[in-house]
């Protein structure tokens, strides 16, 4: 019997032996854990919207069989859990598999009829109602078409003109003034068509049948909020926005909570884009794999996960989703005027350079791992290998730039990728942060087709990142003489929350106290005053690789042998080889490993559906860092996930950002009653505000005291008093040994002298008579 199963869902109802299984409350609690495998409620928000402008809500019927968005597929909590796999994706009700279209079975593309389907559109009030209820907010940020500020200015100017005319005529009225204001605000906020059911993808948006079947086969019943908002806009922007001009495409920024299904929200349009392009290939042209989309992710783990998701969606379509690897040869063109021209026009970036350089030099422990080693035999590999058949490439920044740069410089690209039409930045804020910025920008520049659309995805997006995207899009627009709007979608509150997770902030006076508190979480049976019971599997985050290793060393024998012993605890960080990292990931996914100690290398994007909790053994270095770490639990709306954060006196100057995120998350989750909140108001008020400069330093270096060499860098169960005592004892022993040695030496010398004397005495027999 797997002990993990006992720990994580041992209270599962058993009709034969219900009494022995404990209280009904315990049963409910256990089945609510993420690891219980219950079908999640992927939609996080569904607020009642009181006013129905048209008197009633229109019911939409879909030929596809999937009913309206708020399907009763979600109300399935009492399902039998007997064979639940902790980390498996949700199962569909029927396992019939996709209905393959004979024409597409062997990757043969169905000849796509370019007939425009008539999408059944909702009127603006209906759109508003649905979008508001699911807390979806669309804003036009574009600088290629007029910016919000420009639109406001334009509206104001027009208003003034009219005002002049009207005042001349003496016709100015209050209502008309209001109309003007309304018009300008309308231009800022958009109300596109939402996707209320996956069935619409096929029947309204005309996506490929096999792709639609693959979505059904994955068991996704209702679209999550980000999918509701993003899919219509990315598949048919003209239809979604009711403006045919938009069909040329949009650039897009999506900010949506962790675990809210952003991956398929960008993969579905990417796969559909490939299939659509193939449909446009003339008879007799044959199928050609042509690199059309690039997905960039900050870590190898995330990149491989995206490849897996992509491949599941692309089964039977012939679309090849490929992970960028060393030696892979892509369709590229060497050096290009365009790339050079853009390079030249970048002189204003020089201002940023100094700051970036400094931050780069300081470096971060957990940067995407060194792919530099890939550079060595690159030229040789590229000559020898044939072109890879790729439609969608998933990559980390460095490894692709290694291929593009040729000269080993990882900041600029010599080759271009002329066939690419879509650049997708997953975890865009970190990819555009100084850590990865040069590499990401170089990749963007290598995508030289004028139609390349940029989409950026993350649970957090600082305004400087938005500004950077806007600036570079506008440069591209000028360069290519194109005009495409940039639209931002925010789901829930921008930036700051992990609403469906229980948060705990725990103070321990010393580092040693943290270790003891963590041990209590590891042994849920023992009394745990310091935090909520936390059932495996869970992830423990530390600040540095050294601390992750040390914590692993300290805890590895804590799980009893009969429960699997040290094999149940593993450590993963970027200095391990790819192979070892993949093995550990697989073991954690399968439930073999219960406690995974890691660094921020696993903080973003990685999806373990059944993780019950996250422990921030070391405080995350930013609010965004907290959001991403805590978001490893409670995926796809699963309930019962817990995020525990320890802090000591070293962290007090920095912990306010974390406390603010916790407060915002609880507010979003509706936990506003006194006593419900885990960060009390007095604490929020008492914690010092973090200065901007400190925030920057913290983000790059973490808490200084915990870096290698710092007093608090080591992890041990001993108190400083014990350490001092042990140190004294060791020194005393050493001193005593030394004394003994010296004594022996002295004795030896003395003895030698005596012996010599004796020998001499013996030798010198004295004067003979
Ligand atoms: N419509 C859906 N219904 C149910 N589950 C879904 C749906 N869409 C996605 N999921 C599942 O939700 C989980 C989280 O999805 P995903 O990894 O894409 O989240 P994310 O928004 O990218 O999170 P993060 O910000 O942490 O990267 C995955 O296991 C995925 O299979």
- The minimum-distance atom of ligand 1 relative to the CA of 607 is 17
Residue of the nearest CA to atom 22 in ligand 1? Answer: 262
Between the CA of 298 and the centroid of ligand 1 the distance, in Å, is 18
654 occurs within a structural domain: yes
**What residues make up the domain containing 748?**
719-757
Ligand 1, CB cutoff 6 Å, lining residues: 40, 42, 89-90, 220, 223-224, 227, 256, 258-264, 459, 605, 607, 609, 631, 635-636
Query: What is the distance between the alpha carbons of residues 432 and 100, in angstroms, rounded to a whole number?
Result: 40
User: In the chain, how many domains are there?
Assistant: 4
Asked if residue 633 and residue 614 are part of one domain, the reply reads: yes
Asked if residue 678 and residue 568 are part of one domain, the reply reads: yes
Between the CA of 226 and the centroid of ligand 1 the distance, in Å, is 10
96 occurs within a structural domain: no
Contact between residue 217 and residue 98 where contact means Cβ atoms under 8 Å apart: yes
The last residue of one of the domains, among 462, 491, 520, is: 491
Best substitution site from 636, 638, 639, 643 to test ligand 1's pocket, by max atoms within 8 Å of Cβ? 636
Residues present in the chain in total: 769
Between the CA of 394 and the centroid of ligand 1 the distance, in Å, is 17
Asked if residue 510 and residue 415 are part of one domain, the reply reads: no
Q: What is the largest CA-CA distance in the chain?
A: 153
pLDDT at 176: 60
The secondary element (H helix, E strand) that includes residue 486 is strand 486-491
38 occurs within a structural domain: no
Between the CA of 228 and the centroid of ligand 1 the distance, in Å, is 13
Residue 274 CA, distance from chain mean position: 25
Best substitution site from 197, 201, 260, 628 to test ligand 1's pocket, by max atoms within 8 Å of Cβ? 260
The last residue of one of the domains, among 129, 162, 186, is: 186
Asked if residue 687 and residue 660 are part of one domain, the reply reads: yes
Best substitution site from 302, 431, 607, 641 to test ligand 1's pocket, by max atoms within 8 Å of Cβ? 607
Three-state DSSP class for 692? helix
47 occurs within a structural domain: no
- The minimum-distance atom of ligand 1 relative to the CA of 631 is 26
Query: What is the distance between the alpha carbons of residues 532 and 642, in angstroms, rounded to a whole number?
Result: 8
Helices (H), 324-370: 337-344, 350-362
Low-confidence ranges of the chain (pLDDT < 50): 1-27, 52-111, 113-114, 143-149, 151, 181-187, 336-378, 527-528, 530-532, 759-769
- The minimum-distance atom of ligand 1 relative to the CA of 263 is 18
Asked if residue 640 and residue 534 are part of one domain, the reply reads: yes
pLDDT at 96: 37
Quick one: tokens of 192? 């596109």
Asked if residue 693 and residue 569 are part of one domain, the reply reads: yes
Between the CA of 468 and the centroid of ligand 1 the distance, in Å, is 27
Q: Are strands 642-647 and 613-616 parallel, antiparallel or unpaired?
A: parallel
Contact between residue 627 and residue 460 where contact means Cβ atoms under 8 Å apart: yes
Helices (H), 447-488: 463-480
Asked if residue 596 and residue 516 are part of one domain, the reply reads: yes
Asked if residue 273 and residue 180 are part of one domain, the reply reads: no
End-to-end CA distance of the chain: 99
pTM of the model: 0.76
Q: What is the CATH number of the domain that holds 704?
A: 3.40.50.300
Between the CA of 303 and the centroid of ligand 1 the distance, in Å, is 15
Asked if residue 469 and residue 399 are part of one domain, the reply reads: yes
267 occurs within a structural domain: yes
- The minimum-distance atom of ligand 1 relative to the CA of 222 is 1
Asked if residue 534 and residue 414 are part of one domain, the reply reads: no
Asked if residue 727 and residue 606 are part of one domain, the reply reads: no
- The minimum-distance atom of ligand 1 relative to the CA of 258 is 25
523 occurs within a structural domain: yes
pLDDT at 729: 78
18 occurs within a structural domain: no
Between the CA of 607 and the centroid of ligand 1 the distance, in Å, is 8
- The minimum-distance atom of ligand 1 relative to the CA of 224 is 1
Q: Are strands 415-416 and 569-572 parallel, antiparallel or unpaired?
A: unpaired
Best substitution site from 263, 296, 457, 626 to test ligand 1's pocket, by max atoms within 8 Å of Cβ? 263
CA dihedral 182, 185, 186, 191 (to 10 degrees): -130
Count the helix, strand and coil residues of the chain and give each as a percent rounded to the nearest 5: 45, 10, 45
Between the CA of 608 and the centroid of ligand 1 the distance, in Å, is 10
pLDDT at 63: 41
Asked if residue 582 and residue 689 are part of one domain, the reply reads: yes
- The minimum-distance atom of ligand 1 relative to the CA of 458 is 25
The last residue of one of the domains, among 491, 521, 554, is: 491
Between the CA of 261 and the centroid of ligand 1 the distance, in Å, is 3
Between the CA of 636 and the centroid of ligand 1 the distance, in Å, is 5
Sheet containing 486-491, strands listed edge to edge, beginning at the edge strand earlier in sequence: 189-190, 136-140, 486-491, 251-255, 453-458, 422-426, 293-296, 392-395, 321-323
Query: What is the distance between the alpha carbons of residues 173 and 185, in angstroms, rounded to a whole number?
Result: 19
249 occurs within a structural domain: yes
Residue 143 CA, distance from chain mean position: 27
């Amino acid at each position: 019997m797997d002990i993990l199963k006992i720990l994580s869902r041992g209270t599962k109802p058993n009709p034969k032996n219900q009494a022995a299984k404990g209280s009904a409350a315990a049963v409910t609690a256990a089945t609510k854990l993420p690891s219980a495998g219950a079908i999640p409620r992927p939609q996080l928000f569904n607020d009642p919207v009181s006013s129905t402008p048209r008197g009633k809500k229109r019911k939409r019927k879909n030929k596809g069989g999937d009913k309206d968005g708020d399907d009763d597929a979600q109300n399935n909590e009492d399902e039998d859990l007997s064979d639940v796999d902790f980390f498996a994706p949700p199962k569909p009700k029927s396992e019939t598999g996709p209905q393959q279209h004979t024409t597409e079975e062997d990757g043969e593309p169905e000849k796509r009829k370019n007939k425009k389907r008539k999408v059944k559109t909702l009127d603006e009030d209906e759109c508003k109602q649905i979008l508001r209820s699911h807390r979806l907010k669309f804003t036009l940020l574009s600088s290629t078409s007029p910016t919000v500020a420009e639109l406001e200015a334009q509206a104001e100017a027009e208003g003034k003109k009219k005002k002049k005319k009207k005042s001349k005529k003496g016709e100015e009225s209050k209502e008309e003034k209001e109309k003007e204001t309304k018009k300008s605000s309308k231009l800022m906020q958009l109300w596109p068509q939402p996707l209320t059911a996956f069935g619409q993808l096929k029947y309204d948006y005309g996506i490929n049948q096999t792709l639609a079947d693959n979505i059904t086969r994955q068991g996704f019943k209702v679209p999550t909020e980000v999918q509701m908002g993003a899919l219509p806009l990315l598949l048919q922007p003209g239809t979604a926005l009711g403006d045919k001009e938009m069909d040329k495409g949009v650039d897009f920024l999506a900010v949506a909570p962790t675990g809210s299904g952003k991956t398929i929200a960008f993969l579905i349009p990417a796969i559909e884009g490939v299939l659509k392009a193939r449909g446009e290939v003339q008879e007799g042209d044959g199928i050609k794999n042509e690199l059309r989309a690039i997905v960039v992710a900050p870590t190898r783990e995330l990149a491989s996960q995206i490849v897996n998701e992509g491949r599941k969606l692309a089964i039977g379509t012939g679309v090849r989703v490929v992970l960028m690897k060393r030696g892979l040869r892509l369709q590229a063109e060497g050096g290009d005027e365009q790339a050079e021209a853009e390079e030249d026009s970048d002189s204003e970036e020089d201002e940023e350079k100094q700051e970036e350089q400094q931050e780069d030099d300081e470096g971060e422990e957990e940067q995407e791992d060194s792919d530099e080693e890939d550079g060595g035999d690159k030229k040789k590999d590229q000559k020898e290998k044939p072109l890879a058949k790729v439609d969608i490439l998933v990559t980390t920044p460095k490894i692709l730039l290694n291929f593009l740069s040729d000269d080993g410089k990882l900041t600029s690209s010599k080759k271009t990728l002329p066939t690419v039409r879509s650049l997708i930045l997953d975890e865009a804020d970190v990819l555009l942060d100084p850590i990865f910025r040069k590499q990401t920008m170089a990749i963007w520049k290598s995508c030289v087709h004028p139609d390349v659309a940029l989409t950026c995805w993350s649970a957090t997006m600082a305004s400087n990142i938005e500004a950077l995207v806007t600036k570079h899009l506008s440069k591209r627009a000028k360069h290519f003489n194109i005009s495409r709007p940039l639209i931002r979608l925010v789901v829930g509150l921008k930036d700051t929350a992990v609403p469906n997770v229980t948060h705990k902030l725990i103070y321990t006076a010393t580092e040693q106290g943290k270790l003891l508190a963590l041990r209590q979480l590891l042994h849920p049976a023992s009394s745990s005053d310091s935090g909520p019971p936390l059932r495996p599997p869970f992830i423990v985050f530390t600040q540095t690789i050294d601390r992750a290793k040390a914590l692993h060393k300290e805890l590895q024998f804590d799980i009893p042998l009969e429960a699997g012993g040290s094999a149940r605890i593993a450590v993963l960080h970027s200095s391990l080889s790819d192979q070892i990292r993949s093995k550990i990931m697989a073991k954690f996914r399968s439930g073999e490993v219960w406690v995974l100690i890691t660094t921020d290398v696993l903080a973003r994007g990685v999806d373990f559906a059944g993780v019950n909790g996250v422990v921030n053994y070391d405080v995350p270095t930013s609010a965004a860092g907290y959001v991403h770490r805590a978001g490893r639990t409670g995926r796809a709306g699963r309930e019962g996930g817990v995020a525990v954060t320890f802090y000591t006196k070293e962290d007090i100057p920095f912990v306010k950002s974390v406390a603010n995120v916790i407060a915002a998350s609880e507010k979003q989750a509706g936990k506003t009653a006194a006593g419900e909140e885990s960060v009390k108001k007095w604490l929020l008020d008492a914690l010092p505000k973090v200065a901007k400069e400190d925030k920057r330093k913290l983000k790059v270096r973490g808490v200084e005291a915990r870096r290698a060499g710092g007093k608090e860098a080591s992890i041990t169960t001993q108190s400083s008093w014990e350490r001092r005592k042990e140190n004294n004892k060791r020194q005393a022993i050493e001193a005593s040994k030394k004394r003994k040695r010296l004594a022996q030496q002295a004795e030896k010398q003395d003895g030698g002298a005596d012996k010599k004397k004796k020998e001499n005495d013996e030798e010198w027999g004295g004067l003979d008579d």
